[in-house]
Structure 1
Amino acid sequence: MGITSRVDQDKNLVTIIVDGRFDFAQHKAFRDAYKDKDPNSTRFLVDLSGASYLDSSALGMLLLLREFAGGNPSRVTIGGCADDVRRVLKIANFGKLFTLD
């Protein structure tokens, strides 16, 4: 459970994998997954396929990642969402801020 990441150098893609609860307890691990990457050339994929829950602090962490990546919706993709997680993201209008896959 927690946050893990994979880096694909060929695609300049960092995949951040969330497993279990995505809440404030994951803040440091989530930030550590991207803080040392070049925000100008890297794309990010947040894989929420293993996320069972997310709260408002998780939404805030996603916004911080978006800001780090320059605010471009195509630079951060959120994917693998279960129906409940997708519903929360849609209610928060994250479809306008991120690419939802």
Structure 2
Amino acid sequence: MVESLFDKKTECLTIKVKGRFDYSCHKTFKDAFTKIGSVKSYEVDLADVTYLDSSALGMLLLLRDHAGGENAAIRLVNVNGAVVDILKIANFHRLFYITE
């Protein structure tokens, strides 16, 4: 399940993923960041993620490309131990700011 909240004051889009972060989330995850106009920064809240697979990694890369590639301001927040291990194995700690 994917929920999003846009803060007009800070122009930050928060995308919260709950449960399994896999291909079943693709449409709602992509819609969350493509349907909002002017966004300065993104926060992906992974606190409630119980499973993450390669399609989720691909979705994070799509978000990064959409947000400006190397210049993107994206934070992966509230990442639990198992998920942070997967992100580090995939070298995503080099592409995203990650906080546990």
TM-score clears 0.5? yes
1:99 counterpart residue number: 97
Contact persistence 2:64–2:72 (CA under 8 A) = no
- Give 5+ residue unaligned stretches, structure 2: none
2:84 counterpart residue number: 86
Find out whether 1:4 has 2:7 as its counterpart.
no
How far residue 21 of structure 1 moved from its aligned partner, in angstroms, is 0.2
Q: Aligned ranges for residues 3-42 of structure 1 at < 5 Å?
A: 3-38=2-37, 41-42=39-40
Structure 2 residue aligned with 1:50, among 35, 48, 51? 48
Contact persistence 1:44–1:75 (CA under 8 A) = yes
- Give 5+ residue unaligned stretches, structure 1: none
Alpha-carbon spacing, 1:64–1:12, altered in 2? closer, same or farther (3 Å): same
* Aligned sequence identity (%): 43
How far residue 72 of structure 1 moved from its aligned partner, in angstroms, is 3.1
How far residue 27 of structure 1 moved from its aligned partner, in angstroms, is 0.1
Mapped partners of 1:32, 1:87: distance in 2: 27
Contact persistence 1:15–1:46 (CA under 8 A) = yes
Find out whether 1:61 has 2:59 as its counterpart.
yes
How far residue 5 of structure 1 moved from its aligned partner, in angstroms, is 0.5
Alpha-carbon spacing, 1:73–1:46, altered in 2? closer, same or farther (3 Å): farther
Q: What is the number of equivalent residue pairs in this alignment?
A: 99
Mapped partners of 2:90, 2:37: distance in 1: 28
Give structure 1 regions of 4+ aligned residues with deviation exceeding 4 angstroms. none
